Structure 1
Amino acid sequence: MQNFSHIPVMLEECMENLALKSGGVYFDGTVGGGGHSYEILKRTAPDGRLIATDLDDEALAAAKERLSTFEGRFSLHKSNYKDYAKVLDEEGVDFLDGVILDYGVSSHQIDDPKRGFSYRAKEAPLDMRMDESAALNAEAVVNTYSEERLSKIIKDYGEEAFAGRIARNICLAREEKPLKTCGELASIVEKSIPAKLRYGGAPCERKTFQAIRI
């Protein structure tokens, strides 16, 4: 299991906005390694309760270990936070005092080449699954989705101005051979962006990778 230990970004601001109180019930929909959850449990002692979800098995294992100090006050579920109603029903909870969601990809996922999240990991497989047991991965998306569907995904979820051009070039490239690696996709994206816009700002591949991951 990878080391998930890190200090969450804007931790104090998050805790302040949650208005934590002892005895409260809180929901962390993206528990990750348990950074936010740990602070919630610590600051709501002795009887605050936490319910948390994540799709990443490694994250859930790390969170369970990290939160072990608070045994009996938390429960972890392998679930998408969107299914919170089902999770809360299972827990017998009908009211929450606070909810926290962190939509970003965690550093451990980006740093692990086999997960295929990073456009910098050129030889990494096109995976990008939060839930590694899920059937659909990024390789299937870029190799089987229609040009129109790819363009819509990249535009809607990546806010990429050149979504149509990128989608078209993905489809042209896969006619030659299926796309297998992050490097292959990154190269197509880079070539689809006008040269004058490729450098000086955020990496041009970022928006497309974000869109396909979502």
Structure 2
Amino acid sequence: MRVLVVRGGWAGHEPRACTEMFIERLRARGCEVEVAESLGAYDDRDLLERAGLIVQCWTGGQLTEQQEQNLVERVAAGAGFAGWHGGIVATAYESPRYQFMVGGRFVCHPGGFVDYDVEIVAEHPVVRGIGSFRLHTEQYFCHVDPTLEVLATTTFEGKHGAPETAGAVMPVVWLRRFGRGRVFVSTLGHAPADLAVPEVAALTERGLLWAGGALDCS
């Protein structure tokens, strides 16, 4: 599988360090990985056409209309699209087709870094054998598409100055079919330490493989 990793944006999410963790894993599985450090990669239709999987880690970016069109059309034609945390749900806010393809957008994380539970709520190869677990990181509150295939959730308690969130059951990991393509999103992964948590590392790697059509789903 040929993989295109598009990384950059806000440095606080350490896009280089975070993506390197999974580039190593993908190459170990025999994937051919190409890295782009500019959203201009989405202007290159030949580059997109070569990619069976596009992994994006770019917080706070803006896509031109042409970049959005090229990316969305490539995924609809069969490429996988995958990412985590702000690199996929806190970017391209002005691009409605991108937002529709991803299926969710970051709104806020009350309290900043807090303790919370991640509940596995589905039977799927991406989360097979992974039990519910607890984290200390940002608890993302997102606006999400109701048609998502949700694999994991978290429940907000209305704390940290956000009583309006009390009882909200929020998707944390989800899948989406988009045309002939597959989309994987996890809101976990603020920094390498979060992605190194065994449960997070496992479901993220599997999610990338699933999006690329390379996960054994038997």
TM range (shorter): under 0.3
Normalized per residue, which structure has more helix? 1
Larger radius of gyration between Structure 1 and Structure 2 = 1
Normalized per residue, which structure has more strand? 2
Normalised to the residue count of structure 1, the TM-score between the two structures is 0.27
Normalised to the residue count of structure 2, the TM-score between the two structures is 0.27
Greater RCO structure (CA 8 Å; 6+ sep) = 2
